Amino acid sequence: MTTLREVIVYIVRRRPGITDRQLTEAIYGSDERHQQVNAECRNCPGIVRRQGETHIRNFTPRRHGWPRR
């Protein structure tokens, strides 16, 4: 069985910069709360989080789309 962490990393690799809310909608649908996804992103060593202008965005290391600064 695939874990939530594996699903999150899979999606973030394909959509760098995705927010926790967008991840929640992609995984569970639009009516779900995003706290579980948020906690998993914070604790996942394969995810790098960056504060955007209004939202925290999720990336994987550079080879998978982490933007250069």
pLDDT tens by residue, 4-56: 999 999 999 999 999 999 999 999 998 888 899 999 999 998 888 888 788 88
| pLDDT at 5 (0 to 100) | 93
* In the chain, beta strands by DSSP E: 18-19, 48-51, 56-59
| Pairing assessment for the beta strands 18-19 and 48-51 based on DSSP bridges | unpaired
User: Residue 38 corresponds to which tokens in the numbers above?
Assistant: 């948020």
Q: What angle do CA 13, 16, 21 make, to 5 degrees?
A: 105
Q: What predicted TM-score, i.e. pTM, was given to this entire model?
A: 0.81
What is the layout of strands, in order, in the sheet containing 56-59?
18-19, 56-59, 48-51
The full set of domains in the chain, from first to last, is 4-64 (1.10.10.10)
Q: Tokens 């809310």 — which residue?
A: 21
